[in-house]
Homo-oligomer: A and B are copies of this chain.
Amino acid sequence: MSTITSTNSLAVEDLGSAAQRDRRRRILDATITLAAQGGFDAVQMRGVAEQADVALGTLYRYFPSKIHLLVSALGREFERAEASLKDKPVPGDTASDRVIYVLRKTTRGLQGDPHLTEALTRAFMFADSTVATEIHAVGMQLSTMLTRAMDPERTEPTEDDIAIARVIGDVWLSSLVAWVTGRATANETAEHMERAVRMVLRD
């Protein structure tokens, strides 16, 4: 039997048997459910295990820590968000408009589920280097979404595009943290992000 790739939630290959895929899915489902109900603190390892109908030790075999678990859950949610955006062209006449559209849409999605967003953002911020793989995957997805919005024609983004996307991603993350921790309202967050986008993408 193949081993579980517990440290890489986004690899499609080598996910083990159907039973294992199902356990993994149940665990992530339980995580999202609990996070959506009560945020970071409500995601308790014993509770996740119980709701997913696995033993505590099994949960830790699949995800070596609560942070890995939450970041993996974030990765799966992002995959879905990206997939749902993949085929439709992004509306907007300028790069700024298109990027803002994507950010607005993504942010609104997150802010519609504050507890979930709080849990996932916290986990993301608290992650150490052992979660680097998962974090990197999420970062790449965000970068892809942004560069495609900036330059829908191009298949391969330029180095400049990537640098710009990273800055926007940084602002996005900081804003999200400020919102999650109650230091900024949703409106302030949106305004600040929009302003930053127009600042780096003058068009």
By a beta-carbon cutoff of 8 Å, the part of chain A in contact with chain B is 122, 125-129, 131-132, 135-136, 163-164, 166-167, 169-171, 173-175, 177, 181-183, 192, 195-196, 199-200
Query: Across the interface, do B122 and A181 meet the contact criterion of CB distance under 8 Å?
Result: no
**Besides the known contacts A129-B183, A166-B196, A167-B199, 4 further A-B residue pairs in the complex with CB atoms under 8 A apart:** A128-B181, A163-B199, A169-B174, A199-B200
Given A128-B181, A132-B181, A183-B129, A170 and B175 contact (CB-CB distance below 8 Å): yes
Instruction: Take A122-B126, A173-B174, A174-B173 as given contacts and tell me if A167 and B196 are in contact as well, using a CB distance cutoff of 8 Å.
Output: yes
From B129, B132, B171, give the contact of A167 (CB < 8 A).
B171
CA distance A166 to B169 in the complex (A): 14
Q: How far is the CA of A126 from the CA of B39 in the complex (A)?
A: 13
**What are 25 residue pairs bridging A and B, where the CB atoms are less than 8 Å apart in the complex?**
A122-B126, A125-B126, A126-B126, A128-B181, A129-B183, A131-B181, A136-B183, A163-B192, A163-B195, A163-B199, A166-B192, A166-B196, A167-B171, A167-B196, A167-B199, A169-B174, A170-B171, A170-B173, A170-B174, A170-B196, A171-B171, A173-B174, A174-B174, A199-B200, A200-B200
Instruction: Return the chain B residue nearest A175 by Cβ.
Output: B170
Determine whether the beta carbon of A129 is less than 8 Å from that of B182.
yes
